[in-house]
Chain A
Amino acid sequence: MSALYDEIRDLVALYPEARSATLPALRLAQERYGWLSPEAFREVAEGLGETPAYCMAVASFYDMFHLEPIGTHLVEVCTNVSCALIGAQQVLEAFESGLGVHAGETTPDGNVTLRTVECAGGCGYGTVVVVDHRYREHLKAEDVPAIVEELRAG
């Protein structure tokens, strides 16, 4: 049995049907391994009693699942309408120049993946940037260098 098996069975027990635990189980595997590798899919599938192909088909539908390795840190800049109207582009560009990568890329040392995301739900407090799943709000381009430093430091 895989390392995740028992934890996935605990998730399965929350639902009338095992398949309902697919998203929680995929999240668990991703939190453990950083991304959803073929091996992670095999482990999730085993725990759920599904096939790896089924788990991959589900995971590929959702933006928060990473089917390829990402950096140690994940920086997500909202560029939807409310943030865009007040300067999300400038915030994104500040991250691009600070990190030396374009949106959608990972720094060569594997430390930070930068990407844009659709509306994060912080519209009145834009620009919203989600750093390792925690919201940073009211960000301006001039706030970005400090965040880049923080990411470099750890």
Chain B
Amino acid sequence: MPARSIVLAGADERDLTKFDEYRAAGGFSALAKARAMEPQAVIDEVLASSLRGRGGAFFATGRKASFIPKPDQTPKPIYLVINADESEPGTFKDREIMLRVPHRFLEGALITAHAIQSKNVFIYIRGEYLAEFEVLRAALDEIRAADLLAGVTVVLHRGAGAYICGEETALLESLEGKRGQPRSKPPFPAISGVYASPTLVNNVETIATVTPIIEMGGAEYAKIGPQDSTGSRVFSLSGNVANGGNYELENGTTLRELIYDFGGGIPNGRELKAVIPGGSSVPVLTPDQIDTPLSYDALAEAGTMFGSGAIIVIDDRACMVQLGLRVAQFYMHESCGKCTPCREGTRWMVQILHKIEDGDASQADLDLLLDVCDRILGKCLCPLGDAAAMPVASYIDRFRDEFQAHLDGGCPMDGASSLDNLFAPVDQHHHDPVPDGAPA
């Protein structure tokens, strides 16, 4: 299947970070079109497009917008909060969208604000994304100068380093100036979001897709890709692949096409061992499954998830126990500590995986690890616990022999794994202060 530029359209030919270039390429015509429409008609176009959220949950975007009360149904202001806190390991697509088509993204934000009749937009961008913040700030200044805000206030709000703030209720807590700990739902943000007011939370790519949907019409967009996953996605490809990077492709493209045709295959003459298809939180696939189309239903049928559209390619040098350990270490580090199964469970997972990797574990330890995963799954306030348990349980399930070999005599790769000697941030939680006498 050929590449399909919709969200990133034109960015290879022109510098679309410049307002004039974007406008010359037809930019902001969708905004004018949307503002000439009734707000509900804009939502209807998005409904017709069957667009589903690109952040990871793949919830129907038009439906989510429909949950927001109309101004005459609520005494409170209505907020649009855009989740630019991209941090799922393997995912770097929103970054590319903000860097290369900031105006298309901001246009989508203004269209969406019109659709839900909101005058208040917050963009919560991860703190590490400094260059992206600067590009967005410059683009927003240009839009303001061109008088296109029409009374809408757009605030760029920078995070400060916390994966969990990508979870929508944790994000809202953080935006309110608190520790980023998820809220229990219900109430859902549509009813009680930021400042206990109706709030629509959408991902960057979702919002950037609203612009071309209004341009071409929802029905046209719905013709692209499979019915369950219409349109395109900006897929993030990384790991043991020749040409890592972002590729905007029609949904339904197969993993094989992405990895081999676009990504140039596995370098250094190595063999494919496993593929993580939707960010580090989703179950792993094996080489026999790489003809699976990148669509919601097909990936579910293969036993995994579409997630954030981030594909991590793993070659035959990687030890799957070490991979599980590294993934568990990440989620342990990022667990907010609010609910017990995740806070304690991720710690237990790390301890047991260490023991297995070191060759000190017995069958009972492996059983305990699976038991811990089971006691996390579905039992946490937010999806972070699941995000740790699901992939690790899948590694054990798909690579049982490799885990078994560790029990029988330590790591079979014996110091030759690509993941040997990894040092995770969780092991340096507190860094040493500057030595005495040194300048601060």
Report A's interface with B, CB cutoff 8 A: 14-24, 26-27, 34-35, 48, 57-59, 61-65, 68-72, 79-82, 84-89, 92-93, 103-106, 108-110, 113, 115-126, 130, 133-135
Contact = CB atoms under 8 A, between A and B. Distances in A.
B382 to A, nearest CB: 15
A94 to B, nearest CB: 13
B157 A23 contact: yes
B323 A124 contact: no
Interface of B: 77, 86-92, 95, 126-131, 155, 157-163, 174-180, 195, 236-240, 244-246, 276, 280, 310, 312, 314-315, 318, 323, 326-327, 330, 333-334, 336, 418-425, 428, 430-435, 438-440
Nearest to B439: A110
Nearest to B120: A16
Contacts, number: 208
A62 B244 contact: no
B149 to A, nearest CB: 15
A89 B423 contact: yes
Given A17-B195, A71-B434, A106-B438, A79 B428 contact: no
Contacts of A135: 131
B89 A123 contact: yes
A64 B438 contact: no
Given A103-B423, A113-B431, A118-B87, 16 more contacts: A48-B177, A62-B161, A63-B161, A64-B128, A64-B161, A81-B312, A84-B326, A88-B422, A89-B422, A104-B430, A115-B431, A118-B330, A119-B89, A119-B280, A123-B236, A124-B245
5 contacts: A70-B431, A81-B280, A84-B326, A118-B424, A120-B128
A121 B128 contact: yes
B130 A81 contact: no
Contacts of B314: 85
Given A106-B434, A116-B423, A81 B177 contact: no
Given A16-B195, A61-B179, A85 B424 contact: no
Contact of B87 (A22, A87, A110, A119): A119
Contacts of B326: 79-81, 84
A145 B73 CA distance: 62
B126 to A, nearest CB: 7
Contacts of A93: 421
Interface centre among B95, B421, B425 (most CB of A within 10 A): B425
Contacts of B179: 57-58, 61
Interface centre among A20, A35, A89, A123 (most CB of B within 10 A): A123
Contacts of B439: 72, 110
Q: Lowest 6 CB-CB distances: which A-B pairs, in order?
A: A110-B438, A124-B244, A63-B161, A22-B177, A104-B428, A123-B238
Given A58-B178, A123-B238, A85 B440 contact: no
Contacts of A105: 431-432
Contacts of A92: 423
Given A23-B174, A121-B86, A85 B240 contact: yes
Contact of B318 (A34, A85, A104, A133): A85
Contacts of A58: 177-179
Given A58-B177, A110-B440, A119-B87, A23 B432 contact: no
B238 A134 contact: no
A12 B435 CA distance: 36
Interface centre among A71, A103, A109, A124 (most CB of B within 10 A): A124
A147 to B, nearest CB: 18
Given A27-B160, A106-B434, A133 B89 contact: no
Contact of B312 (A63, A64, A123): A123
Contacts of A68: 430-431, 433-434
Given A58-B179, A103-B428, A80 B330 contact: yes
A65 B430 CA distance: 12
Contacts of B163: 118-119
Contact of B425 (A17, A84, A115): A115
Nearest to A16: B195
A54 to B, nearest CB: 9
Interface centre among A57, A65, A88, A105 (most CB of B within 10 A): A105
Contact of B130 (A115, A126, A133): A133
A133 B174 CA distance: 21
A122 B240 contact: no
Given A69-B433, A105-B432, A122 B425 contact: no
Contact of B128 (A71, A79, A123, A130): A130
A69 to B, nearest CB: 4
A116 B239 contact: no
Contacts of B238: 82, 123-124, 126
A123 B310 contact: yes
